[in-house]
Structure 1
Amino acid sequence: MTTAPVRPIRPAADPFVHPTLLPEVAVTDVKAEFLVITPAVAKDMLRRNTRNRNVRAARVNGWARIMTAGLWHNNGEAIKVAIDGTILDGQHRLHAVVKSGVTITTLVVSNLPPETQSTMDGGAKRNPGDVFTLRDEQNATMLGSVARKVWLWEQGDKRFSAKEAPTTPELYTLVDNNPGLRRSADIAVRVYHNFRYIPPSIVGAAHHLCSRIAADEAAWFYEALGTGAELSLRHPILTLRKRVMTDKDSQKAVTDGLHMAQVLTAWNALRAGKTALAVIKVPTEADGKVHQVIEPK
């Protein structure tokens, strides 16, 4: 092993006293190479995953979906291994390889001192808005939020409990396959500019769902939702506006799922030919504990 230099880890209080010294592993001892990781190899590496944080199932599932869909790409992020073979960083990717049964090629950095683990994963994670900004998308932050809501809806999470979260490649794919989401994000921004009583990501996601059924009707519905102009007494949109304003002014806690159900209740009423609606009432499930999921019609 190459003789390691030493570095001070804290200055001495007395200038005539030597500082505390800590051996430092030489750069030449650290190995970095691209390796083929099969499920069997990943399983073997995970046997030495003895000093890591708890595994997060949602993150493993996300990576596994990416690998299964063929969306895995080398991005320079490494699986990091200590001198003694323990996994310092990358356990979720290794678990995903096992779960998906997919073989990947990835950078592996080994022979690292165990204490370097304390400095890993310290950077801020990119949110959906960040990743769409990098693609020069208009309304990038809103597009990321709307796409995330639509992804959850399409996964069957129609109350937006977010037990699973979309990965960046999944959001890219969703928007590329549904370019109308860009229009929905624009609508969400416009509505929120005039009417700040419904989360804009809900407005955008609802617009996307409704526009797939009747694009022209959806355009009119959400413009009227934002302005409230020229609506007759008890018009479903006006009744919706009053409902959400009352809830917010009274500081009532309303979940994103319930907001979506309220918006789609008004939409469905209009689609059914009702020009007057006394209240926006979302039915509850049989046990009466949660609201029913409303599908757009």
Structure 2
Amino acid sequence: MNVTPDIASQWLEGNVRNRRIDQKHVECLAQEMLAGRWNITHQGIAFDTNGTLVDGQHRLWAILQAGCAIRMAVSFGVPAGNIDAIDGMKARRVVDRMSLTGTFGTEGVTSYHASTLREMYQCLNPGRKLPYHEEMELMTMHINAIRFATAHVATKARGIAVAHVRAVIARAWYSVDHDQLAQFCRVLSTGMLETTCDATIIKLRDQLMATGSTRNRTIQKELYGKVERVLTHWLNGETRSVLRPVTSEQFMLPEEVID
């Protein structure tokens, strides 16, 4: 049925025992709805035998935020004993959905690819969560750069093969000679100098390994900026004794370049 914002508002009044709202997820769904990318599936809105909302609260909040009517499946009279089964199965990950499209061939898309893509756009300038269809479009555009970064920064050394490092390599793929970029990755991964200019890469490597894999966004942003700084100096044949992060993006993506 067509669920309007008014209907969504009425139904949310019966939302008395659902999980906490994820506002970022609501915003993503609303963006998909406004962009006309909402597709009807067997999943939708569900009420139990008492008329209480038991599934679909994020969809309803998204309809309210988008301010438009959306057609979706609505189920009534779900037995109370069946509630535990809702969302109890394994949900498809973003990378599963991408791979199932067949767009990326037999290699598909991995979690390393997805995390690299997100850091390419958000590590230096954190912003909104990207909705699935936007991530799909960007992955299609940048899959070759992302695969290069993932393949060349694949060491098991602590703190090196992380998304905020791979993201810099993926961005640089568009403007840096690939043999040079592979050499930079090799020195960073192995810790073995190949030229006299590699000392700064080793200094960067030591800092990355000392930090390890962190979820602290402030630290991730700082390390991302340092990788960009070191790569830029190294490409210019320069060395630095002190590593400072960049404050603006050094490696622009094709869609970011202004003619």
Normalised by the length of structure 2, the TM-score is 0.78
Aligned to 2:149: 187
**Equivalent in 88, 102, 110 of residue 122 of structure 1:** 88
Report deviation, 1:157. 0.7
- The 5-angstrom pairing of residues 10-25 of structure 1 reads none
Which one is further off, 124-133 or 85-94? 124-133
Aligned partners of 1:233 and 1:268: how far apart in 2? 12
8 Å contact kept, 1:59–1:92: yes
Task: Give 5+ residue unaligned stretches, structure 1.
Answer: 1-34, 159-163, 283-291
**Equivalent in 32, 54, 59 of residue 20 of structure 2:** 54
Aligned to 2:249: 295
Question: Aligned pair in 2 of structure 1 residues 234, 209: CA closer, same or farther (>3 Å)?
Answer: closer
Are 1:204 and 2:166 matched, yes or no? yes
RMSD: 3.0
SS at match of 1:295: coil
After superposition, what is the alpha-carbon deviation per residue over 1:188-231, rounded to whole angstroms, capped at 9, x for unaligned?
23322375532432233112222344454545543543354513
- The 5-angstrom pairing of residues 167-182 of structure 1 reads 167-176=131-140, 178=141, 180-182=142-144
Question: Aligned pair in 2 of structure 1 residues 294, 263: CA closer, same or farther (>3 Å)?
Answer: farther
* 2:14 aligned partner, one-letter code: R
- Aligned residues between the structures: 242
Q: Please tell me whether Structure 1 or Structure 2 has the larger radius of gyration of its CA atoms.
A: 1
Identity of aligned residues (%): 23
Aligned partners of 2:20 and 2:210: how far apart in 1? 43
Task: Give 5+ residue unaligned stretches, structure 2.
Answer: 252-259
8 Å contact kept, 1:146–1:185: no
8 Å contact kept, 2:96–2:109: yes
Indicate the structure whose relative CO is greater, using CA pairs within 8 Å and at least 6 residues apart. 2
8 Å contact kept, 1:78–1:107: yes
8 Å contact kept, 1:82–1:88: yes
Aligned partners of 1:122 and 1:110: how far apart in 2? 19
8 Å contact kept, 2:155–2:161: no
After superposition, what is the alpha-carbon deviation per residue over 1:90-131, rounded to whole angstroms, capped at 9, x for unaligned?
010010011012321111111223443232111223333333
After superposition, what is the alpha-carbon deviation per residue over 1:129-151, rounded to whole angstroms, capped at 9, x for unaligned?
33333245426212222223234
Structure number with higher helix proportion: 2
Are 1:147 and 2:111 matched, yes or no? no
Report deviation, 1:294. 4.8
